[in-house]
Amino acid sequence: MAFGAAPGFGNLPQGNWSPVIFSQKVLTFFRTAAVAEAITNTDFSGDISDFGDTVRIIKEPLITVQTYKRGKELDIQALDDAELQMVIDQGFAYAFEVDDVERELSHINWDSLAQSSAGYALTDKFDEEVLQYMHDNATDATGFGSAGSPVVIGYGTTDAFTPLDAINRMARLLDDNDIPMEGRWFLGSPEYFEKLAVEDGKLIDASVTEDPESAIRSRKFVTSRMIHGFTLFKSTNNPLSSSSDVTIMAGHKSAVSTATAITKSETTRREKSFGTLYKGLLVYGRKVLRTEALLTGYISFS
């Protein structure tokens, strides 16, 4: 668009002297922070090689302890060889083309720009799908409502929990299931952490943060400090329930396993045109191994 002229000014009326300038900097979209890889384990990745593979994971047998008195004949327990199966049956892909003319004459490196965007898109879809799977297969946390009937989080006298108290309750529920402290995580939405930050008086208390110089106060999530034994994760991919309730999740890294079978990126020349085709593929599986170590809560905010 030509630079504007005052009414009646007739010099260079077509505006052809005004160049159209294209910036070589590109406005990229914001990236969602992926958390699925951080809160799951990859212990069985080495056991798979292709799409459709099944990893059979033998569960530790549960041994029954008997009361014993002198001379009592023991009951011999038959060991159980129950197993879990993780199938490599999930996949995402992308494909795009850059014509040679577009590559040579454009002021933008479309190849590099689009590949970067595609790589992020694969990671984001993986993150979103795994988190939703975890929510769909988690154990409903006692006291945290159900789909369609969430509990209220807030600071009112009738609210079920404050945000910090909800984290504390999740910790106790995992304690009840004998879940180890090391490796625990808590996942919430940005709105949850906004509400959590209101509790500044508690969050700066060394008895909660275990450090008087807590990173919590400056909202540096994921934190390097623990809150009630949890590493905190914030994500816009935090799943909703079937009734569109806000959810929170808490668990242990051993609860869910993910395994990637194929991660490929290929570059080939187009057969019937002067262009290059870029393709990418991610194939993976996921499995909840310990339901007692994966909890979800249904909440709303007051």
Whether 18 maps to a domain, the answer reads no
Element (H, E) at 102: helix 100-105
Instruction: Taking residues 211-236, report their average pLDDT.
Output: 63
54 vs 69: which has the higher pLDDT: 69
Domain residues for the domain of 248 are 36-61+81-301
Residue 48: pLDDT band with limits 50, 70, 90: low
CB 241 within 8 Å of CB 202: no
> Which pLDDT belongs to residue 46?
66
User: SS3 sequence, 182-198?
Assistant: CCEEEEECHHHHHHHCC
Mean pLDDT (the chain, rounded): 81
Cα(148)–Cα(150) distance, rounded to whole angstroms? 6
Whether 227 maps to a domain, the answer reads yes
Residue 216: pLDDT band with limits 50, 70, 90: very low
Residue 163: pLDDT band with limits 50, 70, 90: very high
Whether 152 maps to a domain, the answer reads yes
| Beta-bridge partner residues of 262 | 283
Q: In this structure, which amino acid lies at residue 256?
A: V
Whether 131 maps to a domain, the answer reads yes
> Which pLDDT belongs to residue 44?
77
Q: Where are the beta strands (DSSP E) in the chain?
A: 54-58, 83-87, 90-99, 139-140, 151-153, 184-188, 231-234, 246-252, 256-269, 275-288, 294-301
* CATH code at position 43: 3.90.1690
- The rounded percent of the chain whose pLDDT value lies above 90 is 32
Looking at the 3D structure of the chain, how many domains does it have?
1
Whether 130 maps to a domain, the answer reads yes
Cα(247)–Cα(130) distance, rounded to whole angstroms? 15
Whether 296 maps to a domain, the answer reads yes
> Is pLDDT of 47 > 50?
yes
N residues, the chain: 302
Whether 120 maps to a domain, the answer reads yes
| Beta-bridge partner residues of 97 | 277
Of 170, 123, 159, 140, residue with least CA distance to 296: 140
Dihedral of alpha carbons 200, 205, 207, 209, sign: positive
Preceding omega of 288 cis (within 30 degrees of 0)? no
Whether 243 maps to a domain, the answer reads yes
Structure tokens that stand for 154 in this block = 């807030």
pLDDT per residue as tens digits for the range 56-87: 777 777 788 888 888 888 888 888 777 778 88
Dihedral of alpha carbons 101, 103, 107, 110, sign: positive
Give the DSSP letter of residue 217.
G
> Which pLDDT belongs to residue 246?
92
